[in-house]
Structure 1
Amino acid sequence: MDPAVLRVIFGHRIEKLTLLSGIPDTIEELNFAIKHQLNITCVFSLQYLDPDFDDFFSLHSTTQIKHKATVKVVTTEPVVLNLHPLSHNESYDGSVTSEQSFSPPSTSSMAQDSLDSSDSSSTIILSPNRNSQRKPWPMEFILPEFSVETEIILDRANEVYKKDGTLLRIPNIRSDILDKLAQTIYTYTAYPSSLQVLSVAEALIKTHPCLKDPGSSSGLSAWQTSIKYKMSNYRTKLRGFGIPDVTCNALKHKCPDDRKSAKNVKKARRAEVNYLPPYPAGEDEHSLEKTREELVSELKKKNNQKIVNDKMSKTFALRRHEVINQCPSVRAMKDRWPALFDCSQISAEFQRITTVPLEPRFMSSLDLHTPKLLKLFHAKGGALGQRLKNIMEPLEVSMCSSVERTREVVLRCLVEYLGEHGDDLIKEFNGTEDSEELEQLVVAITVTTKAEHSPSDNSKEVGVVIEGMEVVTGLGDIARACCLLLGLTYALNLDYPRQLKNTFEVFQKLFMELDASKLSKKVQSFKSKLLA
């Protein structure tokens, strides 16, 4: 596919967007390319310049634009609903004016991530999934609003600090600060990492320098320790309310061999946003189990994708409880949740867990880095360089390789470049698959060449094998198989294969940009070369 160029209008900016793989097939892929290359962080939609009317219209499909077309980025704001309780002398009459119901989003309302029961009003940001309260960890942590008294004390203390460097010595407000920080942190994760705790402490001291710790050069150490222990106490408090993502780690819910507070802690480790969500309002295990049985029946019907999608979304919490708490085998999961192993549902499940679209981001990132990756592979010498040259030979022979073929070559080279073996990821079979060898595979992508096909046909069948069982077939190309295999590791809560840990780390942290701030030495070195 030939490269394409688009003229992109974003506010006062007019940029040229180069798409090496041509116009994407979906709006999601185009949105990701524009967001990534133009560094746009807000939510937006796209419009295209119609040549017949010489005006902009909403873009509903990428078939509406061609090479050198003009598109406009239109930012959209979330709808914010402010709810105020009625006073004792007021009665509800069923009518609410628009001035009472809606107000534009403000910085303070967006920063207030948790709902404090002592507040007189609560702010709710409407979203498609009302049951999910988790959000991805922000690039920069935004402090919540503290109580009125605390804010006044901090404002005055900051003024004094600017004048003569005097630090605040009022311990009473420390409890209020830690309470609000714990509530806000919990909207992102119940188990913040050391780096995340550090980012909270940095945001606090940056905003309120009067709170610096005099016992450390950075002024952060005491606050890091306090936030860590406050989150531990906050989790203990939440266990009393039966919150699932902390209750699962209570000692009485662990098996006898794991009954130690720091052993086998079940928590998000790969930037999962909805790791162990609660059941939807008004639902319990029995009602969701009934929905699951209905889902299995609906799956047998034709043209029933919408109902299947709705029931898969509704039973998400039940599925996560089984995966996290019961750790079933892949075979058991496929028997109970056959819809989960459909390609579209793998992508949907990944997005439910991480809030990130799977295939659009994976493919767009792979295509974006392909030119630089090929340069790195060509520049490598020695025995590894010769192996990479042999893998890239099909691209050298054919001047018009397909996008799928190019992606496959790049991924095969990537595994070798990271010091791992391609045979550990991709297993080749000729004619028929060896069932005995298949049963020995833990995690792999299978490529079976059918002998009866003619050379002109697409004679290769690509599938995914987990725990000796072929869980997905008919994928068509290696790149999509790698993408869906990554999605399955999240959907089934599987560990990455030890012999392919660098490859999957690149998939997750560089391609999907999940937990990208914490890299191993090998991947950090690779990233430096890739972005040089």
Structure 2
Amino acid sequence: MAATVKLRIILGEENSQRLILQDLPQSLSELAQHIKTQCGIEGDFRLQFLDPDFNEFNNLTSIFDVLDKTTIKVIFNSLPCSALAESPPLPFSSAPPPNSPQDTSSISSAISSASYDTDILSSPESTPRVSSWPLVFTVPRFSFDAELQLGRANAAFKDTGVLLEPETKLKSSILDGLIETILQFKIYLTDAECADVAEALVSAHPCLREPGSVNGYDGWKKSLKDKLGNYRNKLRRLGCPEVSVNALTNKPGDRCSPAYAVKKPKKAEVNYCPAYPGGESKETQELKRVMLLTEMEKRNNEDQVSLLMDQTFAHRRQEVVRDAPMVAEFKARWPALFNVRELCVEFKRITIVNLQSKFFSQLDAQSANLMKAFSRKGGTLGRRLKRIVVPMTEDSGIDVRRECVLKGLCVYMNEDPESFVKEYMSDDASSHTAMAETIYGIYVIRHEGAEPGDAPEDVGIILEGVTVLQELRNVPFAFAIFIALVYALNLCYPSEHRYTFEALQKLVLELDGNKLSKKVQALKTILAR
């Protein structure tokens, strides 16, 4: 598991706060977002860190200067907007630097003005969610008069056992309060999640239990579903992108069924189709995308690229969810996304889960139980599993073990790992043609005469015949990055390997682990023994 990181954040004179993170951020913009969220600050600022070499505060320009127990100072920007637009950019200033290769002064001006308005016009609807659906739903405090009535009714129920029959106004106030809390996590709830909310409500307020219901909350569950559906209709009319994307006006003209191409979160996405930041529009975000292309041409500019990627997240998600572009087209528009660092950050923006640390720590933790499950299989499947794990007896390296476990999981789910992880020889002229015809998968290129334990020449990922990533470290790492691509491009899992990736998502990454297919549920039961 990743080690907890503790940081001391100085917010002002005699004002400091301790910041605890599950792991180190992968970029300065991510660190800034953590500070904004957990320290409750707003506006433009830059960061300094206590340099141990000089024992003084210096400007923080690299995430690699941030270590456990580092002291970080927040310097708020008090200059007027006009002065900021003309001054050199600060690490977390909203105004991006001018682009030297081409005349982009108008772009910079438009972005600057839109970014400053963002701080003023931001709203909860335009703020990315920072929490996934809780294991235990906490009932919020309702309006003052509602809490007063519920308090008296609960006391009466405790003394006499008399249940409350809420009047229309009180019931509406309760449902409104529940929905306000629900929207902090998601807009579309499953049946089980609605049941969780209704059960939490009658547990917190026993006077609301329903005498004619088996569990005491079936009526509240139905009312909550109806209320939430009506609220989504209201949000759709107001233009909330996460629900308006499913409006009939966004369907193809020849297919008007509401069930056609429904675009809802299906893989526990926390930020599935976010709204544009307050004060921004599709046009201003498109200008930032153009600036991002220019920033990529500069050397040693990873932090500025990451900042622009963070600022254009909503634009990118609306494009990929609404338009479902081809991979080649999307890569041409967003080339910065197609590298390991940005894909992992994008996965965290969508799911708020750190991909690499979660995936490998949980995979290693489950490896022993998976190997026991493999050993219990007999027949043809058992013989295939024994052949798969042979390299583990010849090489004790962790990457070899992880690769055997992943391929064994694929075989255990009665799927073919060789149709997903394809190996080619470097001197095979036909390999390029075969790779160009591949719809999806991981390719491994080895040189002639390579031993099983030798490192491959190249490991990469192919989507729709396009080699989207190369020079990945090994096959297990490619598995993790493939999942990141599925989330970032809003793809479905490959149908021939859907159970393997369902197990990786729900049992390893623990995303939406309460709703399992029969195959994955059977595996979960075996692993829990």
TM-score when scaled to structure 2?
0.75
The residue that corresponds to 2:239 in the other structure is: 242
How far has the Cα of 1:256 moved from its partner?
A: 2.3
How far has the Cα of 1:471 moved from its partner?
A: 0.6
Q: Which amino acid aligns with 1:137?
A: W
CA distance in 2 between counterparts of 1:422 and 1:359 reads 21
- Name the CA shift for 1:427/1:147 in 2 (closer, same or farther; >3 Å): same
CA distance in 1 between counterparts of 2:375 and 2:457 reads 27
The residue that corresponds to 2:165 in the other structure is: 169
Where 2:459 maps in the other structure, the secondary structure is strand
- Name the CA shift for 1:389/1:143 in 2 (closer, same or farther; >3 Å): same
1:210 aligns with 2:214: no
How far has the Cα of 1:260 moved from its partner?
A: 3.1
The residue that corresponds to 2:407 in the other structure is: 412
- Name the CA shift for 1:27/1:354 in 2 (closer, same or farther; >3 Å): closer
CA distance in 2 between counterparts of 1:174 and 1:419 reads 50
Which one of 432, 446, 450 corresponds to residue 447 of structure 2? 450
- Name the CA shift for 1:457/1:298 in 2 (closer, same or farther; >3 Å): farther
| 1:439-459 C-alpha deviation (Å, 9 max, x unpaired) | 332221111113397999634
How far has the Cα of 1:183 moved from its partner?
A: 1.5
The residue that corresponds to 2:320 in the other structure is: 323
The residue that corresponds to 1:494 in the other structure is: 491
| 1:441-499 C-alpha deviation (Å, 9 max, x unpaired) | 22211111133979996343111111111111111201000000000000000001111
Report if the CA contact (8 A) 1:135-1:188 is conserved.
yes
- Count of residue pairs the alignment pairs up: 427
Residue correspondence of structure 1 range 298-447 to structure 2 within 5 A: 298-398=295-395, 401-431=396-426, 432=428, 434-447=431-444
Residue correspondence of structure 1 range 67-216 to structure 2 within 5 A: 131-133=127-129, 135-171=131-167, 172-216=169-213
1:461 aligns with 2:458: yes
Q: Which amino acid aligns with 1:156?
A: R
Q: Which amino acid aligns with 1:377?
A: F
Report if the CA contact (8 A) 1:331-1:469 is conserved.
yes
The residue that corresponds to 2:517 in the other structure is: 520
Q: Which amino acid aligns with 1:371?
A: A
Where 2:139 maps in the other structure, the secondary structure is coil
Q: Which amino acid aligns with 2:398?
A: V
Report if the CA contact (8 A) 2:130-2:352 is conserved.
no
Q: Which runs of 5+ in 1 are unaligned?
A: 9-25, 31-42, 44-59, 65-70, 75-125
- Name the CA shift for 1:320/1:301 in 2 (closer, same or farther; >3 Å): same
Report if the CA contact (8 A) 2:129-2:270 is conserved.
no
- Name the CA shift for 1:369/1:455 in 2 (closer, same or farther; >3 Å): closer
Which one of 470, 473, 478 corresponds to residue 476 of structure 1? 473
Q: Which runs of 5+ in 2 are unaligned?
A: 5-20, 26-37, 39-62, 70-121
CA distance in 2 between counterparts of 1:162 and 1:340 reads 58
Report if the CA contact (8 A) 1:463-1:475 is conserved.
yes
Identity of aligned residues (%): 39
Where 2:414 maps in the other structure, the secondary structure is coil
How far has the Cα of 1:167 moved from its partner?
A: 1.6
Q: Which amino acid aligns with 1:255?
A: P
Report if the CA contact (8 A) 2:126-2:278 is conserved.
no
Report if the CA contact (8 A) 2:126-2:276 is conserved.
no
- Name the CA shift for 1:137/1:258 in 2 (closer, same or farther; >3 Å): farther
The residue that corresponds to 2:116 in the other structure is: none
By relative contact order (CA 8 Å, sep 6+), the higher-ranking structure is 2
The residue that corresponds to 2:89 in the other structure is: none
Q: Which amino acid aligns with 1:143?
A: V
**Larger deviation: 263-272 or 509-518?**
263-272
How far has the Cα of 1:367 moved from its partner?
A: 1.1
CA distance in 2 between counterparts of 1:406 and 1:321 reads 39
Report if the CA contact (8 A) 2:163-2:209 is conserved.
yes
The residue that corresponds to 1:266 in the other structure is: 263
CA distance in 2 between counterparts of 1:510 and 1:165 reads 43
CA distance in 2 between counterparts of 1:381 and 1:211 reads 54
Where 1:447 maps in the other structure, the secondary structure is strand
- Name the CA shift for 1:168/1:27 in 2 (closer, same or farther; >3 Å): closer
